[in-house]
A and B are shown apart, each in its own frame.
Chain A
Amino acid sequence: MVHLVDTVEVEPEHVAAYLEVLRSLGTAIMTDAGASLVSCATTSGEIGEHVFIQVVWAVGDHERWNEIRRDLVLDPRFHEYGATVAALRVGGTRRFFTAVAPPP
């Protein structure tokens, strides 16, 4: 299993809007394409800093991600979603993680 971990930086006043776009559009697009939502979490909005929203998606492997990516790129909603979240964030990263067993 591969986890896509998006860590997105937004201004505190945009957190609710970002989460609403994620709920109403992003989740439907990603799950329709075959990804599964693992978790969504935020840092505090009450500490005078930008808020980080971490969204984790699960896909089977990179072979499967390639198919999901194809379906996303061909889905007009994906481009609308991308433009919408881009307007709400000020930074962030996407990294892919694969589970490993910790050393004994």
Chain B
Amino acid sequence: MMLRRFEVYALRPDAPEDRVRALEAACRDCGRFIPEVLDGAVGTNLSAAPVQLVWEHAYASPEAYHRYMVHPYHAVVIDRYLLPDAPERIAIDGPLGAGLYGYACETPSYRMTGGVRRLVLLRLDGAAGEDAAAGMQGLLEAAPRDVPGMLVSVMAANTMGSAWFDGVTPVMGPPRWTHVWEQGFADLDALDAYRRGDSPLADVERAGWEGWMGGIVTRSAELFYLRTGS
């Protein structure tokens, strides 16, 4: 079982530019020091959501994730900019909730080279059953058939939001965003063409998911960024 993971950082408005660049580099280079970190890429969020830096990556298994968690590079270099008591911290607590999202998957179906990543955070109605979520997943993952420029479309439960310690066991309550919809586009023009286009899901998104599938989506937010480093 693979683990797909996104760390999303809101940064202090007065964060020194060189320290922001250092955090970006620390994330981008992580796989050089911890080989278990796969498919790492970073980007600056271009959506209106008040977060700045996104780090996407993956692990081949929960055991591989554990090796990342206990590796000195994680504790010493990455956390240097993140932990609340760290003297060089530049992250702040973001309004999107804990800035860690992700899901378990059998294969790296998220994988792409370069391009634009879009991450749609979804809160599904608590009364919606697993069948409804599975039906929605089927529709979202079929989106590339209607959207030529959409290279990747994966929807999954946001398990990493609460199981961030070992990738499997929740250590806190259910996350604010119950699901994620990960998309990939060749470039910003392709993303823009989808958003302006006449595919059924573009219509649904433009309508704010209002009433779609019985109102299964109660809230959403989006991030998108040009990927560098993968």
Contact = CB atoms under 8 A, between A and B. Distances in A.
A65 B75 contact: yes
A89 interface: yes
Contact-residue bracket for chain B:
10 to 19
Contact of B87 (A70, A78, A83, A92): A92
A83 B83 CA distance: 11
Contacts of A26: 85
Contacts of A7: 87
B16 to A, nearest CB: 10
A89 B87 contact: yes
Nearest to B84: A82
Contact-residue bracket for chain A:
20 to 34
Interface string B49-93: 000000000000000000001111001100110011111110001
Contacts of A83: 84
Interface of B: 69-72, 75-76, 79-80, 83-89, 93, 165, 171-172
Contact of B85 (A9, A63, A82): A82
B87 A91 contact: yes
B86 A94 contact: yes
B79 to A, nearest CB: 8
A11 B47 CA distance: 38
A83 B92 CA distance: 10
A1 interface: no
A93 B88 contact: yes
Given A94-B80, A94-B86, A66 B171 contact: no
Contact of A81 (B70, B80, B84): B84
Nearest to A96: B76
Interface string A67-99: 001101110001101110110010111111000
A62 B71 contact: yes
A58 interface: no
